[in-house]
Amino acid sequence: MAAEIHSRPQSSRPVLLSKIEGHQDAVTAALLIPKEDGVITASEDRTIRVWLKRDSGQYWPSIYHTMASPCSAMAYHHDSRRVFVGQDNGAVMEFHVSEDFNKMNFIKTYPAHQNRVSAIIFSLAAEWVISTGHDKCISWMCTRSGNMLGRHYFTSWASCLQYDYDTQYAFVGDYSGQITLLKLEQNSCSVITTLKGHEGSIACLWWDPLQRLLFSGASDNSIIMWDIGGRKGRTLLLQGHHDRVQSLCYLQLTRQLVSCASDGGIAVWNMDVSREEAPQWLESDSCQKCEQPFFWNIKQMWDTKTLGLRQHHCRKCGQAVCGKCSSKRSSYPVMGFEFQVRVCDSCYDSIKDEDRTSLATFHEGKHNISHMSMDVARGLMVTCGTDRIVKIWDMTPVVGCSLATGFSPC
């Protein structure tokens, strides 16, 4: 079922501790059980399983439960040992796990959606189960009665969800690339604002309630940090992945952001530095450096008897420039560009060698990561994906987490 890979040598990269194999289809969610050597997984093969580490070092399933429909999302509340599983058919099912994690009792079914459930959050204080789905809506239901309390519809599939327990604000990302901030009430909700910045569908969100920061990952391979608490509209762009960003976790104490992508890339971003906000792209009918016309500027082309040029943009200053005036490429990590990007010649000359020093570390997970979660108190991370494999990682060499730091689990 699972193999112990090796012990924890000191290194500067994540250490693979164990691989869990046994699911017959893509694993959609994997969650570490706090204070236990155990993992809860949900899969497209219609099973939810609890894996416990045995004396041999291997993980074996102590619970194996088959659902009526493929499992698409999961939430686990450790203090009450309640598990909520979303399915392809739109239903959310609640279970209670025994104290020894060897038995799971069915509690109730919530008719939350008409299509695939994409995310679930449980609020013990409000006694709500909140979920989003491919029926383009967010729903919140009462866990005492099982009744629907409210629904709100979007124009696109609702793909991911975060929730602020104190204010009852919900953040919903959708396939149009938009994030909607909602205030949930007992039987109604109100739209506070919408956030637009990604050029692809939103795949994951992470909310830090202390610093009031929202992080979003998308199919445009980028991450955006939204400064919600500062109320200044400040956004920071992070580009370092080669594929869709699928999962995020922000570590409050060390101010590091861990992100995982569908190509197996694992990135750890240093957010405890002064970063620059990427500029808005400027528009012009001619190059803002050499004043040559762009190809749609018919009048200037006619007047100067020249052919129009293609418009580009400098990633550092945002000016509209031609290819000749932006022939160089450079990384600029302080603005989030860990890759080499197009910059105009004057900006290239202004970037010093020390400005190109990376502010993130990049690691290879070696499988298509569709979901990740962390137990920061122990410095552990679990990843899962379409290859049906669940991997458990020691992240302490990278992020420095340990019990002595006083972290609370993400």
pLDDT tens series, the chain, 410 aa: 444 434 333 348 899 999 999 999 999 999 999 989 999 999 999 999 999 999 888 999 999 999 999 999 999 999 999 999 999 999 999 999 999 999 999 999 999 999 999 999 999 999 999 999 999 999 999 999 999 999 999 999 999 999 999 999 999 999 999 999 999 998 899 999 999 999 999 999 999 999 999 999 999 999 999 999 765 667 899 999 999 999 999 999 899 999 999 999 999 999 999 899 888 889 898 898 898 888 777 777 777 777 777 889 999 999 999 989 999 999 999 999 999 999 999 999 999 998 899 999 999 999 999 999 999 989 999 999 899 999 999 999 888 754 333 333 33
Q: How confident is the model at residue 196, as a pLDDT? A: 92
Residue 56: what pLDDT? 85
CATH 1.10.150.120 fits 15-274+359-399, yes or no: no
How far, in Å, CA of 333 to CA of 335, rounded? Answer: 5
Q: Which residues is 135 bridged to in the sheet?
A: none
Prediction pTM value:
0.89
Domain ranges for the chain, please list them. 15-274+359-399, 276-358
CA pair distance 181, 92, nearest whole angstrom: 23
Fold for 276-358, please state it: Herpes Virus-1 (3.30.40)
